[in-house]
A = this chain, B = another copy of it.
């Protein structure tokens, strides 16, 4: 548990004092969402969030240590569903679907938010740590399971480096998201996933 998520600790024992206002929390997250869309991550200020949410800055600082923490919380809740793939009989097929889902996610409005967070993480160690812990780790654990299913099914060699395998699948996606050297368009969404799976297959077979 790191600093960016302390507020999400839920102690079972009800703490004394006036309880945190859930309404207030929502207003802040909504305001953050709106400003994120309008101004982008680094151009939006905490003062603006407070202004728009109609809360005081102190209330924000009481619960979130930074702008990134707010955005992360908003993102986290909303992204879970986007990438969940119901396991099918073919692990390979599932991986293909996961790649497709990731492309769809990156192309949608959350794509820029994710890119912003990763961008900020380059100069703020806490944001990076939080992003890895809260978003990447569970995400990659899920992918790892799918790959391990494929290994058990004999599709992939048990000797493969699973981290490397995941990177083969998703690296080009992140690259396009972040570098924007080429569009993440319909052609990419159609053509890339099978290429990625093919690349993984050749790596994982001949290991």
Residues of A within 8 A of B (CB): 40-43, 112, 115-116, 118-124, 128, 131-132, 136, 140, 161, 163-164, 167-168, 170-176, 178-182, 188, 191-192, 195, 198-203, 206
Q: Are B122 and A191 in touch, CB under 8 angstroms?
A: no
Q: Are B115 and A122 in touch, CB under 8 angstroms?
A: yes
Q: Which of B121, B136, B202 contacts A199 (CB 8 A)?
A: B202
> Given A172-B168, A198-B203, does the pair A123, B116 have CB atoms closer than 8 Å?
yes
Q: Are A140 and B181 in touch, CB under 8 angstroms?
A: yes
Q: Are A123 and B41 in touch, CB under 8 angstroms?
A: yes
- Contact partners of A131 in chain B: CB under 8 A: 179
Jot down 21 A-B pairs with beta carbons below 8 A, ordered by A: A42-B122, A118-B119, A119-B120, A119-B122, A122-B178, A131-B179, A132-B181, A163-B182, A167-B175, A168-B172, A168-B195, A168-B199, A170-B171, A171-B172, A172-B172, A174-B174, A175-B175, A178-B178, A198-B202, A198-B206, A199-B202
